[in-house]
Chains A and B, each alone.
Chain A
Amino acid sequence: MCNSLAVRNWLTVVATLLFLPACRADEGPFFITYTHQMEEPGNLEIATKGVTGKPEDGRRFVGGSTEFEYGIKAWWTTEVYLDGQSTGSEGGLFTGYRWENRFRVLPREHWINPVLYIEFENINGANKSLLEIVNHDGKGDLLDPSDETRHEKKREIEAKLILSSHFKSWTIAENFIAEKNVKHEPYEFGYAAGVSRPIALAARPDRCNFCPENLQAGVEVYGGLGTHADFGLRGTSHYVAPLVAWTLANGTAFKISPSFGVTGASAGFLLRFGVSYEIAQFGRAARNLFHNFGGQR
């Protein structure tokens, strides 16, 4: 009796969450660069980001992250990432998790809007999601067999200063990255910057998938800046990546970005791709459900 009630309640929870209204995933077209746009309070965005490439003298790999982004407050967004990768004939493996928090500093919109970002990473050396490039990260990191690199633990704290602006419908963002292993030095640095714009600025009156307002185009650049002891561009990898994002009328967003390495240490060519879907007011629905759930007991 008790079991059947529990099963029914859980089925109700699952069914309700599945049919929650979707809204537009407003994540923007960037893969690496963050803007000051926060997740709306109570909304949950589920996204996957992938990257594939074949470094010189290495095997083709696919790295991926699944993201769960939730708006706690209008000025505070939290996000959990689950990372994995698959390399050539080495098979696939889970490579760790990340937990990030972003805090918008100023309550109003300004020319430049700062956001503070703090992240804890618990990943291993086989991680190939390449969500940021710091220090001398480069093609050499992608060559070692996963069976060896998976044993290297990386517990790191990463901080970013995100500066971004919306200017005449252009989005312009710059990120300064600092990262440190919790157990040892060095402090590692990197950067990312991007600019993007919708193809059309005004919306069409009809619901449409292929209208130009649903398309965004842009470009981002990112790379490493060495360490506190060896700061600079020498021997670091840098990428230039044009990108396109397309949002369907139901809110599902797709994006793709070919990334071109521009220095000898870079990985040559990387192809990034992503899909995201946002569930509107997930927090409120979950609260109500669990409130009712508790009331039935």
Chain B
Amino acid sequence: MKAALGCLILAAWARGADPLQQAPPSAAHLRNPWEGNERAWRAGSKLYARECAACHGPNRDGMEKAPALNRNNVSQAAPGALFWVLRNGSLYRGMPSFAHLPEPQRWQIITFLRKPR
């Protein structure tokens, strides 16, 4: 009974928690191969407009349920944690997985998200 209750609480927490906080510690060790690369930033900007802007807004300031991505918790997040969120999504919060994008394209989006202008 206690185990079932624990599972329910865990599931409820998982549905409501910030996806960035759900990234496992091992994700933080991943390094962005494009960090600081200007071409990658521009490619990331293009990919953001194509893949993310419809929900998160063209200026990354969020829309309805999709959170703003122009905040410090995103620009200062570990690249690996952002990569983990892009790969897994947060299905119960409405964010799909972007695992279908090749890894380099996901890193290009992260390059764009972590260096706001």
Q: How far is the CB of B58 from chain A (nearest CB, A)?
A: 9
Residues of A within 8 A of B51 (CB): 23-24
Q: Do B50 and A251 touch (CB < 8 A)?
A: yes
A40 touches B96 (CB 8 A): yes
Q: Check A201–B64 contact: CB distance below 8 A.
A: no
Nearest chain A CB to B105 CB, angstrom units: 5
B50/A108 in contact, CB under 8 A: no
Does A41 touch B at the CB level, under 8 Å? yes
Taking a contact as CB atoms under 8 Å apart, the answer to whether A202 and B54 are in contact is: no
Segment from A56-64, A203-211, A235-243, A253-261 that makes contact with B = A203-211
Given known pairs A74-B95, A204-B43, the reply for A169 and B50 (CB within 8 Å) is no
Number of interface residues of A (CB under 8 A): 37
Asked if A26 contacts B39 (CB within 8 A), the reply is no
When chains A and B are docked, how far (Å) is the Cα of A165 from the Cα of B14? 23
Contact, CB under 8 Å: A202 / B105: yes
Q: What's the nearest-Cβ distance from chain A to residue B14, in Å?
A: 8
Interface residues of B, count at CB 8 A: 33
Whether A74 lies near B64 (C-beta < 8 A) is: no
- Kindly state whether residue A35 has any CB partner on chain B within 8 Å: yes
Whether B100 contacts A73 by the Cβ 8 Å rule is no
| Residue from the list A75, A201, A281 in contact with B105, Cβ < 8 A | A201
A104 contacts partner chain B, Cβ-Cβ < 8 Å: yes
A163 close to B (CB within 8 Å): no
**Bound complex: CA of A251 vs CA of B51, how far in Å?**
10
A280 part of interface (Cβ distance < 8 Å):
yes
Taking a contact as CB atoms under 8 Å apart, the answer to whether B43 and A203 are in contact is yes
Contact (Cβ within 8 A) A280 B54: yes
Q: Chain A 1-41 against B: per-residue CB contact (8 Å), 1 yes, 0 no?
A: 00000000000000000000101101010000001011011
**Residues in B whose Cβ lies below 8 Å from that of A75:** 91-92
Q: Which B residue sits closest to A282, measured CB to CB?
A: B54
**Shortest Cβ distance from B38 into A: residue:** A205
**Complex CA–CA separation, A251 to B90 (angstroms):** 24
B97 interface hit (Cβ, 8 Å): yes
By beta carbon, the residue of chain B nearest A203 is B43
Known: A24-B50, A24-B51, A251-B50. A107 touches B91 (CB 8 A): yes
Show 23 A/B contacts (Cβ-Cβ < 8 Å), sorted by A.
Answer: A23-B51, A26-B100, A41-B94, A73-B94, A74-B92, A74-B95, A107-B91, A107-B92, A109-B87, A109-B88, A166-B100, A171-B100, A201-B102, A202-B43, A203-B43, A203-B105, A203-B108, A205-B40, A205-B42, A205-B43, A205-B45, A213-B105, A281-B54
